[in-house]
Structure 1
């Protein structure tokens, strides 16, 4: 089972595409800079940690109107 659940994640962002994009960019940044915002993450993988940050409300994105 996915932790956090897809339902709780979809309440934070507007689409699954946005969820995947934000999580993947944050996971790459965590790999490069070694900076996670969650103190004790459940997941050991970067994508899981990024999803936990989204669920905790620590990540935000700005929609580009192009």
Structure 2
């Protein structure tokens, strides 16, 4: 369950909530490997929540392959 940021706020960032979850999971793996952080300050200390915050702030986006 997504608490912060809310699923409603994130739903506008991609074509589906499933896509957002995949984006967050991939970014969380990068953050776990000590990838550079994209925000100066995070509300959460959890890696997945941090990746969702980056998506919320438009620091992460995706391109649909066709």
Task: Give the TM-score of the pair, scaled to structure 1.
Answer: 0.89
- Output the CA distance in 2 between the equivalents of 1:29 and 1:18: 17
C-alpha deviation, 1:33, in angstroms? 3.1
- Output the CA distance in 1 between the equivalents of 2:5 and 2:56: 7
C-alpha deviation, 1:27, in angstroms? 0.4
Task: Give the TM-score of the pair, scaled to structure 2.
Answer: 0.89
**Superposed counterparts of 1:42-53, under 5 Å:** 42-53=43-54
2:6 corresponding residue in structure 1: 5
What is the count of residue pairs matched by the alignment? Answer: 65
1:24 corresponding residue in structure 2: 25
C-alpha deviation, 1:17, in angstroms? 1.0
Instruction: For structure 2, list consecutive stretches of 5 or more residues without a partner in the other structure.
Output: none
Structure 1 runs of 4+ aligned residues shifted over 6 Å read none
C-alpha deviation, 1:30, in angstroms? 0.8
- Output the CA distance in 1 between the equivalents of 2:42 and 2:59: 13
Q: Secondary structure at the match of 2:65?
A: coil
